[in-house]
Amino acid sequence: MTFDIERWLSTIFSDAIKYKASDIHIVPEDKNVHIKFRVNGKFVKYRTIEIGILETLVGKLKIMSNLKMEESRLPQDGSFTMILDGKEICVRASTMPTLFGEKVVMRILNPESESISLESIGLNPLQIRKVKEYAKRKNGLILVVWPTGSGKSTTILSILKEFNPDEFSISTLEDPIEYRVKWIAHSQINHGIGFNFSVGLRSILRQDPDIIMVGEIRDVETAKFSMEAGITWHLVLSTLHANSGANSIQRLISLGTEPNMIISGLKLIISQQLIRKLCPHCKRKYVPDANVRKKIESVLRESIPPGREVTLYEENELGCIECNYLWFKGRIGIFEVFELTREMKMLILSKQSENTLDDQAERDGIVSLRQDGIMKALQWAISLKELESSIGDV
């Protein structure tokens, strides 16, 4: 009996979609190949196959991804689309040579991007109003920050969807292109030919844009052009590897961006992290002890009335069929929406420390990432244990 690679791959992708996996990892060892799904940010073991199948499997994926079949010594990146259950699924594939063969990681891009909105990603009503307010000004730089895998591209997409593409010229510079939106001009960065973010940004500014999305600010030149574009009445959306609004300011300065450029061009910083949501069908209710109540009061900076009962939810160790016995179902964002007030700008100009900026943010009434996480725990969407595993002790 011959090995039907196409049917076998179809089963893998169907199961990945069923599990709502974001990534598929194919990892070779000396005798076996392990296939794992990343579900809600954590790995789930899918199955193990014999090493003899690896070459056929990788070869088929290279053909699908338009990669060089004969090249196995260098990493390669590609993408492909496929139809599953009547839906078009976009997949980004990456190969990496290892001791026992090529490892393949495939990112499954969200097939439900049409339903993404500011309301659906986890921003609270006040944060949504603030983001919409700055977006509607149609000028300045809005940064979305946190390390890799925190949903930054999804947040930017949700902001872009606030605009009618028939009324605005919207262009993007991405590496890679994650979401494809009708009537938006998506451009793929290609470092191999010198087409980087700063080069692309200079060119896009000659394309009569209203709104520009720059995939990531990695250097002072890209930061400078993004700020200048925002100053000259363009709305610029971009990302940065940082972990808070105050930390983003310090990161930009360390890249070589002048403080006066930052306060002129930068308008808003959205920090975010994705937290696994408790399965609504099997989560378990409990009343926290006095020490936990004190921790909650400390983070929220307000006292809970003595007679008021605080209830939280946690993982049910048994799980249920609705969450595939994984305890969690989906993820939700926790956010800090950091506004550059007049007082904040004065501190930035005088190059004050990150702690000083954080203190000012507290005086400005900005809800921190930890505070937003605690509030989502009190709203029973996430567990306190899961929050602490993602951002540290609260």
The CA distance from 32 to 257, in Å, is: 49
Greater confidence (55 vs 394) lies with 55
Confirm if 332 and 376 have CB atoms less than 8 A apart.
Answer: yes
Q: Is the pLDDT assigned to residue 381 strictly greater than 90?
A: yes
pLDDT of residue 230: 94
The CA distance from 178 to 156, in Å, is: 11
pLDDT of residue 113: 63
Q: Residue 178 — pLDDT band, cuts 50, 70, 90?
A: confident
pLDDT of residue 175: 86
pTM > 0.85: yes
Summary mean pLDDT of the chain: 92
Confirm if 328 and 277 have CB atoms less than 8 A apart.
Answer: yes
Mean pLDDT of 267-285: 96
Write out pLDDT tens, residues 116-175: 889 999 999 999 999 999 999 989 999 999 988 888 989 999 999 999 888 999 999 998
Confirm if 210 and 168 have CB atoms less than 8 A apart.
Answer: yes
**Other C-beta atoms lying within 10 Å of the C-beta of residue 330:** 15
pLDDT of residue 304: 83
Greater confidence (89 vs 13) lies with 13
Q: Is the pLDDT assigned to residue 73 strictly greater than 70?
A: yes
Greater confidence (7 vs 179) lies with 7
Confirm if 103 and 58 have CB atoms less than 8 A apart.
Answer: no
Q: Is 260 left (phi over 0), alpha (psi -120 to 50) or beta?
A: alpha
pLDDT of residue 2: 58
pLDDT of residue 140: 96
Write out pLDDT tens, residues 198-257: 999 999 999 999 999 999 999 999 999 999 999 999 999 999 999 999 999 999 999 999
Can you read off the two tokens belonging to residue 353? 């420390």
The CA distance from 177 to 231, in Å, is: 26
The CA distance from 383 to 363, in Å, is: 28
Greater confidence (302 vs 346) lies with 346
Q: How are beta strands 211-214 and 312-314 bridged, if at all?
A: unpaired
Can you read off the two tokens belonging to residue 57? 């499997």
CA dihedral 67, 70, 75, 78 (to 10 degrees): 0
Q: Is the pLDDT assigned to residue 282 strictly greater than 60?
A: yes
Integer CA distances (angstroms), 248 to 9, 217, 266, 344, in order: 42, 11, 11, 13
pLDDT of residue 114: 65
Percent of residues, the chain, with pLDDT higher than 90: 78
Mean pLDDT of 355-378: 96
* Helix, strand, or coil (residue 246): helix
Mean pLDDT of 358-367: 96
Give all domains of the chain, ordered by start, each with its CATH number.
5-109 (3.30.450.90), 114-278+288-295+300-391 (3.40.50.300)
Mean pLDDT of 332-343: 96
Q: Is the pLDDT assigned to residue 1 strictly greater than 50?
A: no
Q: Residue 3 — pLDDT band, cuts 50, 70, 90?
A: low
* The residue type at 375: M
CB-neighbour burial class of residue 248 (10 A; exposed 0-12, middle 13-18, buried 19+): buried
